[in-house]
Chain A
Amino acid sequence: MFGIEDFWSYALILPVAVGVLLGALVLVWWERRLLGWWQDRLGPNRVGWFGSLQALADLIKLLTKDDWLPPFGDRVFFILAPIIVTAAMLLAFVVVPFTPVLVIVESNIALLWFLAMSAMAVYGVLLGGLSSNNKYALLGGLRAAAQMVTYEVFLALSILGVVMLSGSFSLVDIVENQRDGLWHFIPQALGLVIFVIAGLAETHRLPFDLPEAEHELTAGFHTEYSGMKFGLIMAAEYVALILLSCLIVILFFGGWLGPSFLPPVVWFGIKVVIVINFFILLRAAIPRPRYDQLMSLGWKILLPLTLVNILATGAWVLGTQG
């Protein structure tokens, strides 16, 4: 049942997981440096060369901190919550093709698997808020649940245009489909914009970080978390950012495709880094909306727009291919 090809793809599991987690660790420092630069302040610049060991110092601090369990909460859920978030986000990487060969599982439901795993990540946030038995955490969890369920709809609907153009849910097929024609960000510009907005809401990063808005909710759903459990939640957030950037590159910017003077995996890496930096720039540039504004933006503007996008793409596909 397990051939030599299977062996190679399973051998990839560990390097991918370690690589993604290391990427998340580097991002903690990189994001703070970039934010400091854009906001005219220093940022972490003391530990190591240009502060590059700051993330390591943070990690040591988190690992040696007292790992406190709230005695008034639900212990099992409290411990499970960070595990669920991190596991779901890492599992989603199973289907991400870095190049046609560098992919753990190539599947014709890869895109649906990504959606399923981002749906599972909601439970981590929700259970974290529920089990802390703290009003700020509960409010954060409630916000997270409503926000993530809402934006999951647009996350799924916005990529249907890409799926229609490529005729497949397989991420490898979607990239190959962009080889001869235009990369999807031109015909699916609307889909790209909505995917970016929905993805930001799904990863609850800064413009849309209402579940953990520190001005109103202390730290939202992870108020009671300390030590490495908090570290896991942070890591999951950065893993989600990397995942989202990989998906954007694969779906809209041609994945590993590029002029042949660089190997495919380098092209993929360059594009992902550019998209990640764009997300950090968004964080630096855009203030947080009010919660009802976020919800009405979703249902009143994004939903009709995605439906129009699907209709137009469907008509185009029918007109040119049908």
Chain B
Amino acid sequence: MTPLILFYVAGFVTLASAILAITRTNASHALIYLVVALLAIAVIFFLLGSPFAAALQIVVYAGAIVVLFLFVVMMLNLGKSSVARERELLTRGIWTLPSLLALVLFAVVLFALVSGDHEAGAQARMIEPKEVGIALYTKYVLAVELAGVLLLAALVGAYHLGRRYLADRREEEESS
């Protein structure tokens, strides 16, 4: 029974902090709510029997990616003016349509839950890190390779942008 209660608590925290992350007008506050949502998702992964996914969720998403978001927010020096601008952005016209679409998705999920079979959920068990590794490098090796290519493209792109900036600066220094 305990895991079920924990699951509902974690689910509630995820939803509440995700909603708060969208509605907060202060960017850094919104990001911290996003971190809380990601940590709660990690708890859900853990309860569903995959501690490995839970740990990676914290290390990669909560630990690295949102830190970089926060890093950018710190660079931008957002003050009271940007909070006011954010407040204007969140008008009814903007959030109605996305919420409707999300509601449709929610209806689909509900329908699937009510009508579908629950075999997959009943078979949940603890997954060892080793199993994840073996699955990644045998069954899903193509996906791993594709993700690698995608990341390589991002790396080359970042290098290209950085190099152009450095080249521009060098020219400036030479001309001055």
Contacts and interface: CB of A to CB of B under 8 A. Distances in A.
A123 B61 CA distance: 13
B56 A112 contact: yes
Contacts of A123: 32, 35, 67, 70
Interface string A107-123: 11100110110011011
B71 A145 contact: yes
Do most interface residues of chain B lie in helix, strand or loop, or is the interface mixed? helix
Contacts of B130: 167
Contacts of B128: 108
Contact of A113 (B55, B67, B70): B55
Given A108-B129, A109-B129, A152 B70 contact: no
Nearest to B68: A149
A130 interface: yes
A14 interface: no
A167 B128 CA distance: 12
A141 interface: yes
A8 to B, nearest CB: 20
For B35, B74, B75, B128, the residue with the greatest tally of chain A CB atoms inside 10 Å of its CB is: B74
B59 A142 contact: no
Contacts of B67: 119, 122-123, 126, 145, 148-149
A130 B59 CA distance: 22
Contacts of B51: 107-109
Interface string B38-65: 0000000000000110111011001110
A97 interface: no
Interface residues of A, number: 29
Interface in A143-178: 145-146, 148-149, 152, 156, 167, 169
Nearest to A145: B71
A1 interface: yes
B52 A130 contact: no
A145 B63 contact: no
Contact of B74 (A119, A126, A149): A126
A138 interface: yes
B28 A119 contact: no
B69 to A, nearest CB: 10
B175 interface: no
A146 B70 CA distance: 11
A88 B32 CA distance: 15
For B51, B67, B73, B129, the residue with the greatest tally of chain A CB atoms inside 10 Å of its CB is: B67
Nearest to A117: B58
For A108, A115, A116, A167, the residue with the greatest tally of chain B CB atoms inside 10 Å of its CB is: A116
Given A113-B55, A130-B28, A142-B75, A119 B70 contact: no
A154 to B, nearest CB: 13
A129 B2 CA distance: 39
Given A113-B55, A116-B63, 8 more contacts: A109-B51, A112-B129, A116-B59, A129-B74, A142-B74, A142-B75, A145-B71, A167-B130
Please list the 10 inter-chain residue pairs (A to B) with the smallest Cβ-Cβ separation, ordered nearest first. A119-B63, A112-B55, A116-B58, A145-B71, A109-B51, A109-B55, A116-B59, A115-B59, A122-B67, A119-B59
21 contacts: A108-B51, A108-B129, A109-B51, A109-B52, A112-B52, A115-B55, A115-B59, A116-B63, A119-B62, A120-B58, A123-B67, A127-B28, A130-B70, A142-B71, A142-B74, A145-B71, A145-B74, A148-B67, A149-B71, A152-B59, A152-B64
